[in-house]
Amino acid sequence: MFFYVLIFLTLTHSTRQTEYPCNSSSICGCSSNEVITSRIVGGENASIGTWGWTVSLLINNYLLCSGSIISDSWIITAAHCVYQYLQSPIIVYAGSNFLWFGTQNRTVIQKIVHPEFDSVKFLNDIALLKLSSPLDMSDGNISAICLPSVKKSTLNSGEWPVSNQSVVTVGWGRLSYGGHLPDRLQQVTLQTINSGISNCRLLIVNTTVQFCAGAGNGTKDACQGDSGGPLMLYSSLTKQWILVGLTSSGYRCAMAGYSGIYTRVAVFKDWIESYTNESYWVEMDDSSHADYTFPSMKHIFLFLIFSFVYITPSYH
């Protein structure tokens, strides 16, 4: 009996950990350290050097948003973070998991908000920030995120990324609604949600430029301060992380029955390229390539040890 319980616990524990091998030769979507997730709201501290494109933004000396490096001179974020502060200072902190601290810091010299941004419905919630000087991309703490190049026929025929895909979001937002800000970058795994499902349909306005992600039980979500941060899909084919969404809006944080709303990055390819041709795009096929989960070697070793110990007959 005890033997079976140990096997169950060991296997259950091992499958909680997901490892994402990284293609170190990639020019985007790969940081200095590989990502490991084991379970923002309901999330965990991110390991150092795993999300090298994620930056914290200090807006007008007191507001927090997140963003992502798409080239050495450009940051992508949410329009609602910056549209009211076009004349205000924004500082970008890159290369660190700690809030408002970086191995490289830059000011923003140009803020480009999508011309059709709707601040009430959070439509076209996307903006580009040009840095005062290029980042040093040889810094091992810094990397660029890949952007998705998706056929227009795929985008027009249905939702991309497809539903029920594992995605990861990161940020320095509050750990609960109205709660405190964490010092360290948080990560959480979510699922993309079909727009027809009730916990998405209640909030989403335009499925062309928005999509939903979350956990149906309300235990995981982005929260206040995570706005503009990345929602990422791992490609098991290229072993790269792809920026599929920007944290946009939602109802409180991690509320059961409600998902988060994300800007659908793929539909803005032409707009992004009209301002910068320096970003990195990865061709995606009709279906998103999801992550895969496997037990770590440590857990396999423990399982074998437990199996040997408790299968061996006892002579007591």
Catalytic residue among 125, 221, 226, 291: 125
| Residue 316 bears catalytic tag | no
Strands 281-284 and 147-150: parallel
Beta bridge partners of 242: 146, 233
User: What is the Cα–Cα distance from 61 to 74, expressed in whole angstroms?
Assistant: 20
Strands (E), the chain: 18-20, 35-37, 44-45, 54-59, 63-69, 74-77, 90-94, 104-113, 127-131, 147-150, 166-171, 186-193, 210-214, 230-235, 240-249, 260-264, 281-284
User: Which pair of structure tokens corresponds to residue 188?
Assistant: 């959480």
**Which of 244, 232, 271 is CA-nearest to residue 127?**
271
What single letter denotes the amino acid at residue 176? S
User: Which pair of structure tokens corresponds to residue 20?
Assistant: 């994402």
**Which of 199, 236, 210, 214 is CA-nearest to residue 164?**
214
Q: How far is CA 178 from CA 224, 252, 253, in A?
A: 8, 9, 9
| Residue 259 bears catalytic tag | no
Catalytic residue among 56, 68, 71, 80: 80
| Residue 270 bears catalytic tag | no
DSSP structural state of residue 146: B
Catalytic residue among 73, 227, 248, 288: 227
User: What is the Cα–Cα distance from 311 to 306, expressed in whole angstroms?
Assistant: 8
Residues annotated as catalytic (active site), given as ranges: 80, 125, 227
